[in-house]
Copies of this chain bind each other. A is one copy, B any other.
Amino acid sequence: MGKLIKGKPVADAITLEVKKDVEHLKQNNIFPKLKIVRIGEREDDIAYERAALKRMQTCDIACEVVALPAEISQEDFILKLKSVNDDKTVHGILLFRPLPKHIDEDKVKYIINAEKDIDCFNPINVSKVMEGDETGFSPCTPTASMEILKYYNVEIRGKLAVVVGRSMVVGKPLSMLLLKEDATVLMCHSKTENLKELTSKADILIAAVGKAKMITKDYIKQGSTVIDVGINIEQDGNLFGDVNTDDCLEKSGLITPVPLGVGSVTTAVLAKHLVKATKLSILY
């Protein structure tokens, strides 16, 4: 019988560390501040924003939201983003993506200073993730998955980690983070032949496909660790991961639920990154 591993204890442990750091920074008259930049009113952005605001409050980190109209011109948006970036009181910036289609991401991604780019938008940080250089920022969701593995003492080194999904937000960076911890990493995706045969070899299976309950027990190895990064909202409003948790629980070793899994650790990682960015700002 597998064990359900929830995100909350992981998030709580990170939050505790962050709070200590924040307290120490404030004693030295440094006041960490996060700025969230949102274009439009997308529901999932607003849900995440609410969670982030709550986490920052718990951590005693100042957090301000810059909400911009969905139809803002690229020119105006760039000016706005530059002014946020130039603000010396701001230590980290979270910009919601994907950006609206009329804004060219390639023109924007260099604007946020690498040192303030706490969710890995700037190519300098993307490149550092690939190099395994920990001086940069990895994206929060894959990092949250790594924090869960570490918190629950999952052995990574030498083990076979299979990542299903190859997005720039989860699959690819998470593959690099696992590789950095010496996992043997298999990257699978929609074009993969014999997917089930491959995933059922995984010591650690990461599901980041975007298909509700796609991973059933036939896809997993007996006793393996299953991390569900999927966020799929069904027509009835219910939230499901990429894993059919009920079906897999018995066969798995450890398995994260959705909700209350990876998602609940993400804002804690964001807070941790904000503190790291604040410390970096002292060095520069």
A contact set with B: CB distance below 8 Å: 123-124, 126-131, 157-160, 166, 168, 172, 175-176, 179, 182, 184-189, 191-193, 198
Copies in the complex: 2
* Known A124-B123, A128-B123, A193-B159; contact A179-B184, beta-carbon cutoff 8 A: no
16 contacts between A and B (CB under 8 A): A123-B124, A123-B126, A124-B127, A126-B127, A126-B131, A127-B127, A127-B130, A130-B172, A158-B191, A172-B179, A179-B187, A179-B189, A182-B189, A182-B191, A184-B191, A187-B187
Max count, chain B CB within 10 A of own CB: residue among A123, A157, A158, A166: A123
Which of B123, B160, B166, B193 sits near A179, CB closer than 8 Å? Answer: B166
**The 8 nearest A-B residue pairs measured at CB:** A123-B127, A126-B127, A182-B191, A158-B193, A184-B192, A186-B186, A127-B127, A185-B187
A158 CA to B198 CA, complexed, in Å: 12
- A130 CB contacts on chain B under 8 angstroms: 126-127, 129-130, 168, 172, 176
* Known A131-B126, A168-B130, A172-B130; contact A186-B189, beta-carbon cutoff 8 A: no
